[in-house]
Amino acid sequence: MKKLSIVVALALTACIDVPEQPTGKQAFMDNCASCHGFDAKGTGEMADVLIKMPPDLTTLTQRYNGEFPTDYVMSTIDGLSRAPHFSAAMPEFGAFGMGETVIVEKEGIGTPVPSELLALTEYLESVQE
């Protein structure tokens, strides 16, 4: 009887529809492309109606002396840390929840990061010119 219970439990678990986390590219297309453009260069369809033009996100590494500013990008998207000059047009995406938390290790220290935030940041790093 115990084996049957395990088999039934496994079968039911297989039927549960677990939502997939969007890829970084999909998260960008869904949440960022309307302002930053599909190419991430700041030329989205909404860019012209904003008071401040969205930045070209493909030049972040170039603007940060050849090193992709991971922490800056994550805190900007999340809304945790933004400079006073930052445009209020960009939502604080962390307030909406950005997926399950994963642990990212840097210099021996583990930091919990929402999975969608991590994927989006990795996507932006991949489009650097």
| Domain parsing of the chain, residue ranges | 21-126
pLDDT-derived band at 52 (thresholds 50, 70, 90) equals confident
Judge whether 78 and 96 are in contact, CB under 8 Å: no
Q: Return the number of other C-beta atoms located less than 10 Å from residue 57's C-beta.
A: 19
pTM of the model: 0.78
pLDDT in tens, 64-95: 999 999 999 999 998 887 777 677 778 888 88
Lookup: tokens for 79 = 């809304």
Asked if residue 15 has pLDDT above 60, the reply is no
pLDDT at 88: 76
pLDDT in tens, 106-122: 889 999 999 999 999 99
Task: Tell me which residue of 94, 125, 128, 129 sits closest to 112, measured CA to CA.
Answer: 94
Q: Across residues 4-8, what is the average pLDDT?
A: 44
Say which CATH architecture domain 21-126 belongs to.
Orthogonal Bundle (1.10)
Q: If you average pLDDT over every residue of the chain, what do you get?
A: 84
Output 26 or 89, whichever has higher pLDDT.
26
Q: Across residues 48-65, what is the average pLDDT?
A: 94
Q: Across residues 49-69, what is the average pLDDT?
A: 95
* Dihedrals phi, psi of 64, to nearest 5 degrees: -110, 45
Asked if residue 1 has pLDDT above 90, the reply is no
Q: What is the distance between the alpha carbons of residues 105 and 111, in angstroms, rounded to a whole number?
A: 6
Q: Across residues 8-15, what is the average pLDDT?
A: 48
